[in-house]
Each structure stands twice: as structure tokens, then as C-alpha cells.
Amino acid sequence: MKILVPVKRVVDYNVKIRVKADQTGVDLANVKMSMNPFCEIAVEEAVRLQEAGTATEIIVVSVGPTQAQETIRTALAMGADRGILVQTDDQIEPLGLAKILKGVIEEEKPDMVILGKQAIDGDNNQTGQMLAALLGWSQGTFASEIALDGDKLTVTREIDGGLQTIKLAMPAIVTADLRLNEPRYASLPNIMKAKKKPIDEKTIADYSADAAPRLEIVKVTEPAEREAGIKVETVNELVDKLKNVAGVI
């Protein structure tokens, strides 16, 4: 079974985001970048399936600038076999990304696609669902457990109020949730091996995909600062504040 894992280069989750002075976007100058955490979980799950003898090849694909090669190398060091970089300096929206990935899938013909449920920069949570719709494939979103059962894929999904277990016909799209696994740290020998693994460089035109933006960012602003809390002396005063000041009861 061949598995395709899309990964995204994002601002590291430990970095405090700064908005540009002109409010046109996020300031990325001299900011540490890393692989999207949910993408790491997707790569780890693919590697575990390969270690269990279920998967035969893992292909990692990233759509982004030349620096996204570093993200792909991280996935290769974790255990993926080869990478594909679809080079572009443009901001790609979820629908455009899904169309590009559709072209990659039609060329590579994987049996399964595992990707993070969302990226921590845009928080769109759309690409996996759009990709499944474009391909007409089964989809299992918010996966916290994956198991191959014959020619079916059993996926346990995290839903409001509990878990839902479904069986999917293959080929399938799976989006990884936080509790699917804990990604490994790449060892130094594997990091060195990853430098020799191939990364094919492509362009959006190679897949004849329409990735033109359909949205316009009008303004990006910092969230409002939280107001300081107050202390109350009695329960009656608390109820009065909740009712007449906060308006929550």
C-alpha cells in the first residue's frame, strides 16, 4: 500500500505571532518555521503503518516556497521514503491546495492519503474534505485511531461528546487529530540518511491546477487584550455582576 502525506511549513508553535505594522498579514521576518504539528502526526501514523508491514511506500508532498524542502527533509528523517515539492511563493488557499494534491494523487496513485486535520496558521480545516470531494474518495476526518481491516479502513473519529468508529472503502482520505499518536524525534543517523533521499521539484503548472485565490485579506489585527478580572465579596454580589454587568445570566 502506498501512502501520500501532505505536509505544511508554518510558523513554529512556540513563536509569538506578530502582526505587520500595515496590518496586511503576519510578520514572518526572522521567524522560526517548522512542520505543522498535525502534519507531524500524519507522517508518524504513515511510518507506523509501514513499520507494521501495512504500507510499502510513503511519499511526502509540500506546496510552498523553496524553504519547504526543510519540512520535507524532516518528514524523510522520520521515516518517509521520498518527497515532492510543488514550488510556489504564492499563498495557496485550501481549495487550490486540494486541486494541486488531486493532480499529485492522479500521478502517484496512492492507496491512502493521510494529512493533518488543519494547519495552525490558517486553522481552516478544509483541505482534506475538499480533496475527498474532488476525488470521490471515502473520508475519515478527525481520526484518533486507524486500522486496516482487510480491504476496509477502520477509523475512530473524535466528535462532539464522544467517539465514532466508521469503516471506509479504499482508497481513502484520513485527516489526523491530536490524539492519533505522538510523533517521534528523528535520530541523527536518520537525519543524515534523509539528506540522500530524493525530493522531486514540481510547479503548479505541472498538474494543470487552478490555484488562483478566491479570497482577499482586508486586514489582520491583534486580538483584543483581555480585561483584568475583579474580586467580589459575596455570592449575591457575584450573581449581581454576572446578571447586570456581564449579562451572562
Question: pLDDT tens for residues 31-58?
Answer: 999 999 999 999 999 999 999 999 999 9
Residue 161 confidence (pLDDT): 87
CATH number at residue 237: 3.40.50.620
In single-letter form, the type of residue at position 21 comes to A
Question: pLDDT tens for residues 101-130?
Answer: 999 999 999 999 999 999 999 999 999 999
Question: Count of domains in the chain?
Answer: 1
Residue 129 confidence (pLDDT): 97
Domain range spanning residue 221?
2-246
Query: What Å distances lie between residue 70 and 34, 42, 62, 89, CA to CA?
Result: 8, 17, 10, 15
What the block records as the C-alpha cell of 42 is: 500524519
Look at 100 and 217; give whichever has higher pLDDT: 100
| The Cα angle at residue 234 between residues 232 and 237, in degrees rounded to 5 | 70
Contacts of 112 (CB under 8 A, 6+ apart): 1, 2, 3, 4, 55, 153, 170, 171, 172, 173, 174
Q: What is the pTM of this model?
A: 0.88
Question: Comparing 7-11, 111-115, 211-215, which segment has the lowest mean pLDDT?
Answer: 211-215
pLDDT at 68 over 90: yes
